Structure 1
């Protein structure tokens, strides 16, 4: 799918398209509004948000109907969380690191440079205290967060020019969010964040020299290959990105217990469903990018990888020494959990993958 046909199908609207009525409540049934940071029908992420909403609606027998608004249909994409906080919507679907200006600790629940893979992240959140800390952070804003999707390890990004080493990064204008953005800043890039639907135009106009979003499945639809041909793998700043569903906590707690459990369970199911969607479709999209669009798959030079690791360690140390107690607590919990979960990933999983790659041919 090329960018033009995708964006046409997406039907993106400007912010504030319509003034919407308050949630409908009739005979015990409710309609909640979900605003998202994703374009309409966006592969993996936007589709996942819609599927999550449809699952809740169907499983509740219509007692809780979720109406989805894509990026810009009700509020600008990067104001989705604010819409839940101020009551303009009951739910938002996005990525926690988009809101790091509210609390630096939120970035840990999306992706950390050289940090946890998606499977490791779920272990921390579900079993090693991560959810409880996440709840503490979001309690300040009257909302509740749930993991809702998983892209796996992402692509490193699209660059107009080939990267030859750390020196070639200096001055590059790069779209990349979260703690990863802070790493690239330490390496010399000028970093900005923008929503998915805005990136292509910024690349095309020359406002950006490079951009990363997720990976081949999304990037093919967004059309980045039309502007930049150097596609770097893998990302070292987003090893396992998680999306989130955020709900108004007071309204969530007012729901019957079965509906509260339903929202939680559907989010967990969708986390896994989105992961399998990307696992199946990223390789096929990458083949299209290479075979049909002449994209050059590149790997980051070793000195960039090494400098990125050093910068990431420095940032985590800064956050651990932060004067903000919740940020410090989040960082310490993350580091402690990483030391546990990486033992299996590096000692078992990665060794199997290396052996399979070397010896198993079909």
Structure 2
């Protein structure tokens, strides 16, 4: 009896659906508005990992929203120069920017902490601080002052120490050197006698060629090979102690971010997280091959001497003391990052570095 009643009722429901055609559309299709944004990058199209990250974000967002949310990407100079990305987002020229936060440390040194600072975190530590250590919230509390919202969207991993026309063996050799170097590293280098220059990526080669600068740091072998620095300044130094990682951001106008539907916010954040992993993995895969090509074509691979490293570390701490004494924004974010660094370095000494150093010795012995 109960079975017949259930089937009868089920049949009525089925008939009603068949008669009225009331098949629910997916919620996202019902509520998804069509949005078209523009994103200007600090990087040229020739850098397929850096600029490619911007393209990847736009592609993922479009696919995840059935092309309802479209983001058009523009390389440096197509809308604004590479070092004016934050200004373009801040004043509403574009909805989004794709850049390195530390390019804008001239506005406030705190911007440098969004990318990397000398003797700071490595790539994994930076990701951990941003996502698990409160870094993202602290940075966005600061970025709010500039009417922007930031999401980490890439990392170059540890960088090289740059290209020099002449060999640099002592701290004295650095004095009077004109060097393209970004972020707070320029302030540190100034203490060592270097004359720092801030240039966008596409402007570095012409500056080296014309002698406007004597040395330049950029990223690492894969990108450096593309830009051809070895032809002019063959001495290739390591490590880039000022960039143990280099995180990139998309910056979004704060009002645009707040007005974005929550599902679109989630999709954009997911696209940035995916691109963050993709960027680091791509550099890890491409840098070894590119380094071999550079060395085969005449680049001289050289380490910074221990005295230079020690002098740079001392100068770095002096710069930090000076800035934290007068900049509350910087101090708040910096103190969090450095406390996190202390614990992370201790942990990496136990496991990560022990393993990595053993494998490095096997490589040096030709056993790999």
Task: Give the alignment partner of residue 360 of structure 2, picking from 334, 344, 357.
Answer: 357
Q: Which residue of 2 aligns with 1:75?
A: 80
In 2: Cα distance, 1:237 partner to 1:251 partner: 33
Q: Which residue of 2 aligns with 1:272?
A: 277
Task: Give the alignment partner of residue 135 of structure 1, picking from 135, 140, 152.
Answer: 140
Counterpart contact for 2:177–2:215, Cα < 8 Å: yes
The superposition leaves residues 92-136 of structure 1 with CA deviations (integer Å, 9 ceiling, x where unpaired) of 001000111222111111111111001111111111111111011
Task: Give the alignment partner of residue 220 of structure 1, picking from 217, 221, 225.
Answer: 225
Whether 1:98 aligns to 2:98 is: no
Whether 1:36 aligns to 2:20 is: no
TM-score by length of 2: 0.89
TM-score by length of 1: 0.90
Task: Give the alignment partner of residue 338 of structure 1, picking from 337, 341, 348.
Answer: 341
Q: Which residue of 2 aligns with 1:149?
A: 154
Q: Which residue of 2 aligns with 1:310?
A: 314
Task: Give the alignment partner of residue 177 of structure 2, picking from 169, 172, 177.
Answer: 172
Q: Structure 1 residue 359: deviation in Å?
A: 4.0
Q: Structure 1 residue 267: deviation in Å?
A: 0.8
Larger radius of gyration: 2
- Matched pairs, number: 334
Report the RMSD for the aligned CA atoms in angstroms.
1.2
Q: Which residue of 2 aligns with 1:325?
A: 328
Q: Which residue of 2 aligns with 1:10?
A: none
In 2: Cα distance, 1:96 partner to 1:346 partner: 29
Task: State the secondary structure of the residue aligned to 1:124.
Answer: helix
In 1: Cα distance, 2:250 partner to 2:172 partner: 39
Task: State the secondary structure of the residue aligned to 2:111.
Answer: helix
Counterpart contact for 1:319–1:331, Cα < 8 Å: no
Task: State the secondary structure of the residue aligned to 1:320.
Answer: helix
Task: State the secondary structure of the residue aligned to 1:333.
Answer: helix
The superposition leaves residues 208-260 of structure 1 with CA deviations (integer Å, 9 ceiling, x where unpaired) of 10000101111111010110110001111111111111111211111111100
Counterpart contact for 1:123–1:341, Cα < 8 Å: no
In 2: Cα distance, 1:281 partner to 1:141 partner: 36
In 2: Cα distance, 1:28 partner to 1:131 partner: 28
